[in-house]
Structures are given as structure tokens and as C-alpha cells.
Structure 1
Amino acid sequence: MIKNIIFDFGDIFINLDKQIVFKEMKKHGIHDFLPRLTPLNEAFEVGSIGPDEFLNELHLHFPQVSPLEIKRIWNSMLLDFPEYRLQFLEDLAKQQDYRLFLLSNTNALHIPHVEQQMGKLQFERFRNCFEQFYLSHEIKLRKPNQEIFEFVLNENNLKASETFFIDDTLENTVAATPLGIKTWNLLVGKEDIISLKERL
């Protein structure tokens, strides 16, 4: 019996355009963005480096792009947060049938931008739906490292067999499965979080 639900954030609640960063950088003549900068992004996502260091390091790699423009491009992947999804989540929280948790790979640039874009009131409505709101750059762990799932389970005394995890990235749901966590790899564009009850 499922008692706990762990949600990813991007493309589960807020819509993303994961390709826009590459498209925008190409406008500046940059075509080899990854994989050589993957370690930098991962360090940023676990809070090993701060926003200024991240932007300055990217600027060193791509001097034709200012840190301010890099920040704009980096945040441009964050799109809208449909009200119907927020309403669905609030209704789920009010029913109190499950303990709800957020577990997101994110960074110290994205979260302030999301809060500004959504508006403080709407962002607080979202945050208040969860018992715990785990952001990778704050807890110094990121998916798909199994340690992050063990952290959430242990921190909240959750049984893996009673826990359901939703993420749009297959690598992340695959990592959670060996621990005994039930998972849903949500297919973006084909599935929506509001059909959660059909999955439980």
C-alpha cells in the first residue's frame, strides 16, 4: 500500500524546454556545449559552487557571452506552471491520504527565477503542499545517485515498499527501483501528473 509520494519538479509540475539552452548557445556560435561542461553543471546542482562562480566559469569557456546573458539563457528553459496542476496537487494535499515530498535536481539560479515567474503567493501555495521540499543544491545530493533516495527515506522514516516516486527522467526512476521504491517514469507530452491516481 502506497503511503508516500515523492515528486520531481521539472516537467512534472513546471513545463521545461530542455533544448532551448543549446539552441540559444548556438546563436552565439557555440555548438559543443556538452558533455565537457556536465561536471560543472552537476557541481552547481549539488551546491559545490555558487551562481557567480558557475556563471563566471561558463563565461571563461565562452567569452563571447556575458554572464548576464548566460543567466538569461540558463533560466530560459523554465516555462509555465499550469494552474490545473497546482490545483490537483493542492487537492491531493488536502485529502491527506499520502505524505508528499518534492525531490528536484535544481540550482540556485533556477529556484529564485521560478519563484519570481510564478509569483511569491503561487510558489508558496506549491511549496506548502509538501511535507519536505528537497532541492539538490541545498541537500548536496542529486539524482540518480541512490544516496539521495536513501537520504529521503531515512530522513522521514519511510518504507521503500510504501513509497511512490515520479520523475520524467528514466535514469532517475531506474536508480530508485532497486531500493524497493515504486516508480513512474512520466512520459512528457503523453502523460500528465493529474492522472496519478490511475498509477497508484
Structure 2
Amino acid sequence: MIKNIIFDFGDIFINLDKQATYREMTRLGVTKISDEMIAVYHQYEKGLMTTDEFINFYHDKFGIEKEDLLNAWNAVLLDFPKKRLDFLKEVSASKKYRLFLLSNTNDLHIKWVQNAVGPEFYSEFKSSFEQFYLSHEINFRKPDSEIYEFVLNENNLIAEETLFVDDVKENTDSANKLGIHVWNLIPGKEDVTELFTKNKIN
């Protein structure tokens, strides 16, 4: 029986255009994503690098102005349909499941989201979860197994009683290896509001 549900954020609740940042960076003259850039991104997403350090890396390496980088970096983030918030609030109000958010995100992205949806919407979203885990605040990131073990251990969750919803197969595969049930949601074809029709949850 499923007692706990862990949700990803991007392309589960908020829509993403995952190629947008690459397109914008290309427009700014950055046409190749190097191993160093990926390492810096992962460091930033784990909260092991400050926002200023992250911005300065791109400014110093490519001469990109701060405002241009911010716009390019946040271009990935689109809208947050209210029907998904309403659905989440219903599930939360039912008290049938313990709900958790587990997102790979960073300081710049979450601040953009807070500003875009407004304080009331964001507060309703965040308060629907028992715990709200953002990678840059807990210093772990998916798909590393440590992040799932952290959530399980911190909240005394049993893997076999837990469902994890994420749009990235690498992330759901990693969680599933620990015995966690998973739904690898396909954006554009499936919606989180279909949670109970797509999954056999008691």
C-alpha cells in the first residue's frame, strides 16, 4: 500500500522548456556545453556554489552580462497551471498520504518561480507538502541514490510504501533501485492530475 508520495517539481507541476536555456546561451555566443560547465551547474544545484560565484563564472569565462545570463538561465521556466495546484491541495487535504517535494533546483530558479506565481500561490503550493526538499538547500541532487536515502531516513519512510513521481527516467530508475515505486511521467502526454488513474494506488 502506498502511504507516501514524493513529487518532482519541474515538468510535474511547473512546465519547462528544457532547451530554452541552451538556445539563449547559443544566442549569447556559448555554443558548446563543456564538462566544466556541467560540473559548475551541478555544484550550483547542490548549493555548493553561491549565486554570485555561478554568475561570475559565466561572466569571467564568456563575458556574459549578469542580466543576459539571468534571462537565459530562467528561460527554461514556463507556467504553473492552477489545476495542478488545486489537485495537489485536494490530495493534501485528504490526509491519505504523506506528501513530499524533491526537486533539483537552484537559488535563481526558485526565486524566479516565487516571483512569477506570487507569494499566495507559492505558499499554498509549499504548505501542501510535509517536507519541501530543494537540492541546493540539502546539498544532494538526483539521480544520486544519496538524495533518496536522505528523504527516506529523515522521514522514517519505507521504500515499498513510497511512490516517486518524476519526468526524468534516470531519476526514477535510481529511486526504483532502492525499492521505491515510481511513475516516470511523460510531459505533454501525461499530467500529474492523472496520478490516481495512471497508478494503482490504494
With the shorter chain as reference, the TM-score category is: over 0.9
> How far is the alpha carbon of 1:71 from its aligned partner?
1.1
Partner Cα separation in structure 2 for residue 95 and residue 34 of structure 1: 46
Give the 5 Å matches for 1:6-25: 6-25=6-25
* 1:125 alignment partner, SS class: helix
Q: Relative to structure 2, which stretch is displaced further, 169-178 or 33-42?
A: 33-42
Q: In the alignment, which residue of structure 1 is the partner of 2:112?
A: 113
Q: In the alignment, which residue of structure 1 is the partner of 2:89?
A: 90
Q: In the alignment, which residue of structure 2 is the partner of 1:147?
A: 146
Q: In the alignment, which residue of structure 2 is the partner of 1:191?
A: 190
* 1:9 alignment partner, SS class: coil
| Identity, % of aligned positions | 51
> How far is the alpha carbon of 1:88 from its aligned partner?
0.4
Query: In the alignment, residue 130 of structure 1 is paired with which amino acid?
Result: F
> How far is the alpha carbon of 1:68 from its aligned partner?
1.9
Moved over 6 A (4+): none
Partner Cα separation in structure 1 for residue 6 and residue 130 of structure 2: 10
> How far is the alpha carbon of 1:144 from its aligned partner?
0.4
Question: How high is the TM-score relative to the length of structure 1?
Answer: 0.97
Q: Relative to structure 2, which stretch is displaced further, 183-192 or 68-77?
A: 68-77
Query: In the alignment, residue 131 of structure 2 is paired with which amino acid?
Result: Q
Q: In the alignment, which residue of structure 1 is the partner of 2:47?
A: 47
Partner Cα separation in structure 2 for residue 55 and residue 3 of structure 1: 41
The runs of 5 or more residues in structure 1 that have no matched partner are none
> How far is the alpha carbon of 1:34 from its aligned partner?
4.3
Give the 5 Å matches for 1:161-200: 161-198=160-197, 199=199, 200=201
For residues 41-63 of structure 1, give each alpha carbon's deviation from its aligned partner in whole angstroms, at most 9, with x where no partner exists.
00000110010100110112211
Partner Cα separation in structure 2 for residue 185 and residue 153 of structure 1: 19
Please tell me the root mean square deviation across aligned C-alpha atoms, in Å.
0.9
Query: In the alignment, residue 33 of structure 1 is paired with which amino acid?
Result: I
Question: How high is the TM-score relative to the length of structure 2?
Answer: 0.96
* 2:31 alignment partner, SS class: coil
> How far is the alpha carbon of 1:180 from its aligned partner?
0.5
Partner Cα separation in structure 1 for residue 190 and residue 131 of structure 2: 25
> How far is the alpha carbon of 1:30 from its aligned partner?
2.1
